[in-house]
Amino acid sequence: MRFDSQGQPLFDSDGLLIVETALAHAASSTTKATSSRPGLIVAAGSYSALHRQYAEVPTTHWPRHIIAPGFIDLHVHYPQTDIIGAPADGLLPWLEQYTFPAETHFSSDSHAQEVAVFFLQELLRNGVTTALVFASSHPESVNALFTQAQQQHLRLITGKVLQDRNSPEGVRDDTEQSLLDTEQLIHRWHQHERLGYAITPRFAPTSSHQQLYGAGELALQYPDTWIQSHVAENLDELRWVKTLYPQARSYLDVYRQAGLLRPRAIYAHCIHLDDADRRLMHDTHTAAAVSPTSNLFLGSGFFDFAAAKHTGMPWALASDVGAGTSFCPLQTMLAAYYVGREGQTKEGLSLAPSTLWWHHTGAGAAALGLHNHIGNLQPGLEADFVVLDPHASPLLSRRSQQANTLQEQLFALIVLGDQRAIAHTHIAPRIALSNAL
């Protein structure tokens, strides 16, 4: 399965995906000129249309499976891997009771390495091939995750959390040093192979004005870095921001004033926004990372998919582990469906399964400005893909046999599927990518 330029699904019941490997590339470049590069998709389409042209290419056969783009997780915290499912009264007590204590441990390089290895395995087990990840406030945590991702040749974006106030000892950083550390980490990692750096103020309440504006200056100085933060997740958080930034029109406006809304800026949650905020996101090409399992778990509220649609605000799906309860994109899509669902007592948008799927792949890539590299299966894109098994469990298999359309099959996977349905995750073979993302 792949998508057209409008995000509509294209499906061949008997398909063929051709990938350039380093070996094949070496062989073909000695015999004829080739425009493809190792690690990239050469062709995707129906077997009958393509197989003659690629008769010499060795193939792996996946009968009764679906090959699809790797999932993109647009917002996830790797230092929160060990606190999934920690219950609290809401966001702010949860941060205080579980999150900050857990993140304190990431000053230890060995702890950070151990969790980074597990975290990346968990992404891959769930078919996630690219993620935009919060590290902790310790540079060690960033180095650990980038090191592991580089070894596995993953396309991954992360950054050191900036939080110089309203944070306990152990995670609180120093204003000036935090900005120096950020710049150093940008130089060390950004655009190295498949890695990218995200300037990462945790959220407005935990950054001083000086730190937030400093982050904005770095974002201007390094325009192809990413920005990630949180906005408008919880009503207590909103009231707090109002007292800290009384002059701002809205919570989102705090980030606008600091120069933190621009292409490649991603804000988690975006629940309690108004239409002026949503239009501001649209106009500045800033995207929302929508995390329904997290919002349901913490009782934060419900993302308004209809309002996002009518204002044109870009959005894509995310796990937000550890407030989010699952690494599995199938479960995130199901939660998004529940949250959006129009019902007799609630207006809403009943999202089609292929729309949910697009918002966990191609739309995520577009939000990151990486749609010419990942998020779809088209010639020239990087060969990060998943192989799905619609027969992974007895019930899913039974239901899949009754599916008459692609939409029915995708719904069966979303509703009944879990990690077992991800039969294989394929990462593009190591390639000499140009640094221009």
Q: Which residues bind Zn ion (CB under 5 A)?
A: 268, 320
- Please choose, out of 91-99, 212-220, 257-265, 429-437, the segment that lies near ligand GUN by the rule CB under 6 A: 91-99
Report what 384 binds from Zn ion, ligand GUN, none; CB cut-off 5-8 Å by kind.
none
Nearer to Zn ion, 320 or 382 (CB): 320
Rounded CA separation 437/435 (Å): 6
Query: Measured from the CB of residue 200, what is the shortest distance to Zn ion in angstroms?
Result: 10
Choose the one of Zn ion, ligand GUN, none that binds residue 376, judging by a C-beta under 5 to 8 angstroms depending on kind.
none
For the bound state, the minimum distance from the C-beta of residue 238 to Zn ion, rounded and expressed in Å, comes to 16
- Interacting residue with ligand GUN among 3, 70, 73, 99 (CB under 6 A): 99
For residue 314, the minimal CB distance to Zn ion (Å) is: 18
Residue 99 touches which member of ligand GUN, Zn ion, none, C-beta under 5-8 Å by kind: ligand GUN
Q: CA dist 318 to 75, 169, 202, 311, 331, Å?
A: 5, 29, 16, 20, 11
Nearer to ligand GUN, 20 or 233 (CB): 233
Encode burial over 311-329: b for 16+ CB neighbours within 10 A, e otherwise: bebbbbbbbbbbbbbbbbb
Q: Tokens in use for 125?
A: 């087990």
- From the CB of 81, what's the least distance to ligand GUN, in Å? 12
In terms of CB distance, is 73 or 233 closer to ligand GUN?
A: 233
User: Using CB under 6 A, which of 142, 185, 323, 374 touches ligand GUN?
Assistant: 323
Closest CB to ligand GUN among 77 and 160?
A: 77
211 or 229, CB closer to Zn ion?
A: 229
Binding-site partner at residue 203 among Zn ion, ligand GUN, none, CB < 5 to 8 Å by type:
ligand GUN
The token duo for 293 is: 């399992």
Residue 409 sits at φ, ψ, to 5 deg, of: -65, -40
Strands (E) located in 192-307:
195-201, 226-231, 265-269, 287-290
Applying CB under 6 A, the site for ligand GUN has a residue count of 11
Neighbours of 104 (CB within 10 A): 18
CA-based nearest residue to 268, from 219, 307, 234, 222: 234
Determine which residue in the list 2, 155, 194, 230 makes contact with ligand GUN, applying CB under 6 A: 230
What string marks each residue from 40 to 79 as x (binds ligand GUN by CB under 6 A) or -?
Answer: -------------------------------------x--
d(CA 257, CA 254): 5
Output phi, psi for 200, to 5 deg.
-130, 70
One of 164, 173, 233, 389 touching ligand GUN (CB under 6 A): 233
Q: 361 vs 144, 235, 406, CA distance in Å?
A: 26, 30, 17
For ligand GUN, the closer of residues 153 and 230 by Cβ is 230
Provide the 10 A C-beta neighbour count for residue 174.
12
Minimum separation from the CB atom of position 318 to ligand GUN (A): 10
Short-list 228, 211, 222, 216, CA closest to 259 = 216
Q: CB nearer to Zn ion: give 86 or 403.
A: 86
Q: Does 164 bind ligand GUN (CB under 6 A)?
A: no
Least spacing, CB of residue 3 vs Zn ion, in Å:
27
Backbone φ, ψ for residue 237 (5° rounding): -60, -45
Please answer whether residues 15 and 44 qualify as being in contact, where contact means their C-beta atoms are separated by less than 8 angstroms: yes
Q: Which residues make beta-bridge pairs with 128?
A: 71
Structure tokens at 185: 């980490």
* Binders of ligand GUN in range 258-297 (CB under 6 A): 294
Chain contacts with ligand GUN (rule: CB under 6 A): 77, 91, 95, 99, 202-203, 230, 233, 294, 320, 323
